[in-house]
Structure 1
Amino acid sequence: MFQDKVLACKECGREFEFTASEQEFYAEKGFTNEPGRCPECRAARKANRNAGGGNSYGGRQERQMFSVTCSSCGAEAQVPFQPRGDKPVYCRDCFQSRNRW
């Protein structure tokens, strides 16, 4: 059913073999795209991604936080967006109590 294919890596340009067994694995997992990178570039990309220190931002810079005064209780709070001033801004506790379903 599947036959080995030769693909070109979009990262380094080298050719690599996409074996019939790899194709079968991809099909079983429901993957519709062929791999775009050779095994070496995939491993390097994964290593770089995992070297980000384990934070949830995948190695990106920390999110900038802004100091605000809660519109409900008046407490000082930190929010991950710059308030525009046209809408109320709440501390975590007030936000959660207002948004309970």
Structure 2
Amino acid sequence: MAGDIQLTCSDCGQDFTFTAADQAFFQERGYSTPKRCKPCRMAKKNDQGGGGGGYRSAPAQGTPVICSGCGQPTTVPFEPRGDRPVFCRDCYQSRKGSSAGAGGGRSRGRY
């Protein structure tokens, strides 16, 4: 295994150590050599809202649409394809509830 490497951060200009353990971690995952020190990487990640969607992450952006059921404006957490109707939460729930049992107890295997 290679030893520690001294690198210069592209953001703050400070030298930082890219440890042998970090090198192995990056190599296992196919990551390239970092250009930023850890504090600058974390700051950039926070600025971009990155972080993997944890509990405190920003809410997902919705796509504004008109509900096919009631005609009211709403947002959905996906980009509609246009070939299927899109419903607001209330219309979706009422349709979902009314179709319960329509499959004869069979799972469609989608999930």
TM-score (norm 1): 0.51
Query: What root-mean-square deviation, in Å, do the aligned CA atoms of Structure 1 and Structure 2 show?
Result: 3.8
Q: Secondary structure at the match of 1:3?
A: coil
State whether residues 63 and 79 of structure 2, in contact with CA within 8 Å, keep that contact through their aligned partners in structure 1: no
Hey, what's the Cα distance between the residues in 2 that align with 1:3 and 1:55? 38
State whether residues 7 and 16 of structure 2, in contact with CA within 8 Å, keep that contact through their aligned partners in structure 1: yes
Q: 1:90 aligned to 2:93?
A: no
Q: How many residues in Structure 1 have an aligned counterpart in Structure 2?
A: 86
Q: CA deviation at 1:40?
A: 1.7
- 1:71-97 per-residue CA deviation (whole Å, 9 max, x = no partner) reads xxxx345354898xx7552323559x7
- 1:36-89 per-residue CA deviation (whole Å, 9 max, x = no partner) reads 210120232344437xx53343xxxx434222333xxxx345354898xx7552
Residue of structure 1 equivalent to 2:57: 54
Q: 1:90 to 1:25 in 2, by over 3 A?
A: closer
Residue of structure 2 equivalent to 1:31: 29
| Matched AA of 2:68 | T
Q: 1:64 to 1:87 in 2, by over 3 A?
A: closer
Q: CA deviation at 1:25?
A: 3.3
TM-score (norm 2): 0.48
Q: 1:56 to 1:21 in 2, by over 3 A?
A: same
Q: CA deviation at 1:9?
A: 2.1
Hey, what's the Cα distance between the residues in 2 that align with 1:13 and 1:31? 26
Q: 1:22 aligned to 2:18?
A: no
| Matched AA of 2:14 | R
Residue of structure 2 equivalent to 1:13: 13
The share of aligned pairs that are identical, in percent, is 26
Q: 1:31 to 1:7 in 2, by over 3 A?
A: farther
| Matched AA of 2:18 | F
State whether residues 66 and 82 of structure 1, in contact with CA within 8 Å, keep that contact through their aligned partners in structure 2: no
The answer for unaligned runs of 5 or more in structure 1 is: none
| Matched AA of 2:16 | F
